[in-house]
Structure 1
Amino acid sequence: MARIEDYINHHRDEFDCENPSEEHLKSFEQKLAFVNASLQPAKQRKFSFAQVAAAALLLVASTLLFGKLFITTNDEYSNEIRVIKSNYNEVLDAKYKQINIAVDKLPESVRKDYEKQVESIKKQTTIMEKASEMSANNPEMRQALMMHYRQTDRILTKMAIKAERNEQQNEQNSK
């Protein structure tokens, strides 16, 4: 290194009048441009109104789709419960009528027992329906209400069959 430095110092005049090669200048300009670009602040990207509107529309549409697919609203549960109530109430009303027809011909004491059982079932049904209204967005409540209706239907069917058998026995006994 010392030899090169001594050589340059002794032949300074020769180096000062020489120009660097074209390749060296191009390489130097590229490096200088790269350094200048890294020092300058980045240009801010401008979005057109159409791009912003399209992005907003996509966001809103995906949010609504997600909401419809994965989030159940209170209205959906309350509508389901309303449908369940109306369907089962029609079935249960038919069972109550069937029991009333079969019980009409039975003795007074037996008829009162059936009426007490029916009233008890109606009270339980009223309690379940009020509870379902208070927690309409609860799927467990909907399932419990459906189970209650099914169980009530089974009980009323058994009561109607039993009342009809009792009626038939009373008719046979009276003959």
Structure 2
Amino acid sequence: MNWIDEIRKLRDERQLSDAQTAAELGVSKQFLSDVLSGKKQLSNKIKLKIWSRRERDLDRESLLAFLPSKVAEQLLEIDIAREKRRADALLGGGGGAKDWVSDIITLRDERGLNNTEFAAELGISQPFLSDVLNRKKAVSWPLKIAIWSRKNYDLSRDSLLNLLPEDLSAELKEIDRERGRRRAAKIAEKNKPR
């Protein structure tokens, strides 16, 4: 994630001047100008303000942006090697059938969501999720891909969250959960019988 681009998007989407953007972020107009020109770096506190005002998921890219760039690059190299080993193991078989339902339950519980919220996050209906969890319906390919990507991303996400200062990590997680609840509420309202 490029913080300069995020600031510009925030400014442009809200049709703010540089002075208004600086005021919203709690910095001086000169500091904002120095950041936009690459002369100064942002603190995690200001990065958190920017991230919380953007509708971005708490994904690996977002979390890496809170780390020093050298640390983030090293972690990405390690993760690429880890993912290659994991993909090789998955494609190579490795034993019995994968229990997707178990992974779905684990991921739901790790994210701290109920079935309705989790279904909304996955982009599926709550009744379909219930049928899958009760093994009445098979796990579809799109759902498998959603679980696979989130499961890997959540493992990386948890590791990254542990590297961040505890207060920043807690605040990022809470903002992310609240966004998930808002999404679920919007979907529930949209799907409510009229």
Q: Same fold (TM over 0.5)?
A: no
Greater helix content: 1
Higher relative contact order, structure no. (Cα contacts within 8 Å, ≥ 6 residues apart): 1
| Normalised TM-score (structure 1) | 0.27
Q: Which of structures 1 and 2 has the bigger CA Rg?
A: 1
